[in-house]
Amino acid sequence: MAERTESYYTILTVEPTADADDIAAAIKKARNLWTTRMAKPGALGDKARDYVNWINDAETILLDPAKRANYDQELAGGTAAKTNWAPKDDEPNWLDRAWRYYEEDDLDLAQAAARKATTQQPKNTTAWVLAGEISRLKGQFKSANEAAYEAMLLDEENPWAYELRGNVFMMASGDPANALEQFQKMEQKAHGNPVVIQAAKGHQAMAQSILLDRQLNAVEATLPNGSFAYSEAVMQRLATGKSRLTDLRSQYAALLQGLGPDPDPYTRDSLTKDIKNIDSELSEIDRLIADGNTRVTRWFGVIKWLVPAIIVLIIGFSIHNAGAAIIGLLVAVGLGAIGWVSNSKPKWKW
Alpha-carbon gap, residue 216 to 203, rounded angstroms: 20
Predicted confidence at residue 272, as pLDDT, reads 94
Predicted confidence at residue 114, as pLDDT, reads 94
Q: Write the single-letter amino acid at 165.
A: R
Q: Would you say 200 and 163 are in contact if contact means Cβ atoms under 8 Å apart?
A: yes
Phi, psi of 139 (to 5 degrees): 80, 15
Chain segment 37-70, per-residue pLDDT in tens: 776 766 677 778 888 888 888 898 899 888 888 7
Nearest to 274 by CA among 296, 292, 254: 254
Q: Would you say 59 and 27 are in contact if contact means Cβ atoms under 8 Å apart?
A: yes
Alpha-carbon gap, residue 319 to 93, rounded angstroms: 112
CA dihedral (312, 314, 317, 320) in degrees, to 10, reads -110
Distance set, CA 55 to CA 11, 33, 43, 49 (Å) = 7, 11, 18, 10
Phi, psi of 227 (to 5 degrees): -85, 135
pTM for the full predicted model: 0.62
What residues pair up with 83 in beta bridges, in sequence order? 6
Alpha-carbon gap, residue 30 to 102, rounded angstroms: 17
The pLDDT averaged over each successive group of 10 residues in the chain (350 residues) is: 72 86 90 80 74 88 85 65 61 85 91 93 87 94 93 87 93 90 92 81 92 93 82 86 96 89 84 95 92 64 65 72 71 70 51
Predicted confidence at residue 176, as pLDDT, reads 93
DSSP code for 88: -
Alpha-carbon gap, residue 303 to 116, rounded angstroms: 87
Predicted confidence at residue 350, as pLDDT, reads 35
Q: Would you say 237 and 223 are in contact if contact means Cβ atoms under 8 Å apart?
A: yes
Pick the CATH number of 1-88 from 1.10.287.110, 3.40.50.300, 3.40.50.10490, 1.20.1250.20: 1.10.287.110
Cβ-proximal residues to 332 (8 Å cutoff; 6+ apart), any chain: 309, 310, 312, 313, 316
Q: Would you say 44 and 130 are in contact if contact means Cβ atoms under 8 Å apart?
A: yes
CA terminus-to-terminus distance, the chain: 53
**How many residues does the structure list for the chain?**
350
CA 62 from centre of chain: 42
Alpha-carbon gap, residue 239 to 254, rounded angstroms: 23
User: How many CA atoms, within 13 angstroms, populate the side-chain half-sphere of residue 207?
Assistant: 26
Q: Would you say 114 and 145 are in contact if contact means Cβ atoms under 8 Å apart?
A: no
Hey, where are the domains in the chain?
1-88, 214-295, 299-349
DSSP letters for 50-79: HHHHHHHHHHHHHTSHHHHHHHHHHHHTT-
Predicted confidence at residue 304, as pLDDT, reads 66
Q: Would you say 289 and 239 are in contact if contact means Cβ atoms under 8 Å apart?
A: yes
Cβ-proximal residues to 311 (8 Å cutoff; 6+ apart), any chain: none
Predicted confidence at residue 347, as pLDDT, reads 44
